Amino acid sequence: MGLLEKVKRNSLWQLYSLLPKDQNKAVCQSFYGRGLSDSPGAIALELLRRGWKVYWVVNDMSQKDALPAGIIPVACESPEAIYHLCTAGVWVDCCRKWAYTQKRGATCYVQTWHGFPLKRIEKDAIDALPADYIRAAKKDSAMADVFLSNSRFLTEIYRRAFWFAGEILEYGFPRNDLLFGKHPEVAEKVREALGIPSGKRLALYAPTFRKDNGLSAYDMDYARCAKALGQRFGGEWLLLAKLHPNIAARAGELRLDPQVVRNASDYPDIQELYVACEALFTDYSSVMFDYMNTQKPCFLYVNDIAAYKDDRNFYFDLDRLPYPRAEDNDALEQAVLGFDEAFQAQALERFQAEFGITETGRAAGHTADFLEARRARLGIVNTLENR
């Protein structure tokens, strides 16, 4: 963006932020303009169901056709997006907003964040973060009215490391509400979208990224894993590889054999993949903490612990994780073949108690209740006439 465009953008923020707020309007965003996803997506759908006017910020307007009916797309950083953000009663986001963002008046900013952390984040990793990000993070926390937490552990991190002294709601992550109960229609949706042959059982491979965005750590033997899954659990297995957005564009370099593993990196909603898949392979990613709500088998493939630990270090020893850990493909195969369902169930129960996990499957509803109670305190009634 050129200098003139930045001046125009910043001027619009200053001007529009002085306008009245529509307390029946919510503007939601996920990962800087990704399609409907993560906790903001779950909250957006719940607010839409309750009759709110819901706008969704996208970085590419070609995504608009994928949005559910009733949710209105606005292009990231466009005058329209700035106008609706400045006049909305509610913002919902899972990432930090840029430092030029302005919030004034009676707008409630709900920061959902995007995961229960294993590696150190924010102030706890300040030496590993760019100075411009730290400035934006501090301003974002100053603007935020509430943070959503899924645990006592994350709440403590918010208090210590997020430059935030406001209200924290331990409702759980709304994105995980889908993981409670049975959703065969979601599993079928995934299979249809990815062209999965009938009869194939599915496992998900969802690793995080490395500091250099390289691929040397991703040498998991997919064929061997699929075979081991068949031996331990029965049936024929296919892996779905969903790489972190930072490296998703390089998935083709992993030489994925479509008979064994399919690239699902472009599939927009990883929670739907959790529903469709019967097992998870990951490394240090926080996906393991979301997936534990399914109670399904999970395996950690970590062939570079020392190097990864040197980057940001961990909040706690990996031995406290409730899943089997393997540092090479031999050990990973044995972890699959030796999986003990009862042992994992006990380990999950201990972990959730120790860290104070608060997931119940009702986080989006509780968040909407909070926002509607706030709106009522402001004397606003959401009726069709008001819309």
One domain for residues 163 and 193: no
One domain for residues 141 and 248: no
Is it the case that residue 281 has pLDDT exceeding 50? yes
Q: Give domain status of residue 307, yes or no.
A: yes
One domain for residues 87 and 45: yes
**What's residue 379's pLDDT?**
81
End-to-end CA distance of the chain: 35
Is it the case that residue 299 has pLDDT exceeding 50? yes
The arithmetic mean of pLDDT across residues 242-246, rounded, is: 84
- Do residues 57 and 33 make contact, with C-beta atoms less than 8 angstroms apart? yes
With cut-offs at 50, 70 and 90, classify the pLDDT of residue 307. Answer: confident
One domain for residues 62 and 148: yes
User: Between residues 63 and 323, which one has the greater pLDDT?
Assistant: 323
CA-to-CA separations, 96 to 61, 78, 260, in angstroms, rounded: 21, 18, 37
The arithmetic mean of pLDDT across residues 53-81, rounded, is: 93
Pair of tokens at residue 379: 């004397």
One domain for residues 254 and 318: yes
Range of the domain at 134: 8-176+361-376
Q: pTM for this structure? A: 0.91
308-328 residue pLDDT tens:
877 778 999 999 999 999 999
Q: Which of 249, 194, 255, 270 is nearest to 221 (CA)?
A: 255
- Residue 125: which CATH number? 3.40.50.11820
**What's residue 380's pLDDT?**
60
The arithmetic mean of pLDDT across residues 127-144, rounded, is: 95
**What's residue 90's pLDDT?**
98
- Total domains in the chain come to 2
φ/ψ (deg, to 5) at 201? -85, 145
**What's residue 38's pLDDT?**
94
With cut-offs at 50, 70 and 90, classify the pLDDT of residue 216. Answer: confident
